[in-house]
């Protein structure tokens, strides 16, 4: 009898798709990503400087996309990024590590940021979620 009741209850339920579940998960980043793209120069040990685009910037990392004809550094490689946040401001030079390689570029995690650079990045990105500016 109990088994029959369980079966009836299961028939009435509609399974929630994985995508619907994922869309309900709140973004847990400490800071939002900047919606803007910047021209960037990438330097790695033992190779020439490369040009690319920096997007998804926040005070802890960014997404790097190099030009199609340029070889990307391997995961775990140390890199140095140089970009000008806006006209008239001095360029930022930031050290980072290639965290992973995605289809749309490489995720870079910033390392050894100075307080001054961290504060400049925070102003570029804006206030973290839940905190007014």
- What's the pLDDT tens digit per position in 22-55? 455 455 556 667 778 889 999 998 888 999 999 9
In the chain, the number of structural domains is 1
Question: Where in the sequence is the domain holding 85, given as residue range(s)?
Answer: 38-125
Residue 112 in any domain: the answer is yes
- What's the pLDDT tens digit per position in 73-129? 999 999 999 998 877 888 999 999 999 999 889 999 999 999 999 998 888 877 665
Distance CA(107)–CA(97), nearest Å, equals 8
Q: Residue 70 in 3-state DSSP?
A: coil
Residues 6+ apart with CB under 8 A from 52: 39, 40, 42, 64, 65, 66, 67, 70
What CATH code is carried by the domain that includes residue 120? 2.40.10.220
Residue 7 in any domain: the answer is no
Residue 132 in any domain: the answer is no
Q: What is the pTM of this model?
A: 0.70
């Amino acid at each position: 009898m109990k088994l029959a009741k369980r079966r009836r209850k299961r028939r009435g339920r509609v399974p929630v798709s994985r995508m619907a579940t994922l869309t309900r998960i709140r973004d847990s980043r400490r800071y939002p990503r900047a919606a803007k793209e910047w021209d960037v120069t990438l330097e790695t040990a033992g190779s020439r400087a490369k040009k690319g685009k920096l997007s998804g910037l926040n005070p802890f990392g960014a997404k790097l996309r190099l030009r199609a004809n340029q070889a990307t550094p391997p995961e775990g490689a140390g890199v140095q990024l140089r970009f000008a946040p806006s006209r008239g401001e001095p360029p930022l030079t930031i050290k980072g590590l290639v965290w992973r390689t995605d289809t749309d570029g490489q995720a870079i995690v910033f390392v050894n940021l100075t307080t001054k650079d961290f504060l400049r990045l925070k102003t570029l990105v804006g206030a973290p979620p839940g905190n007014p500016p």
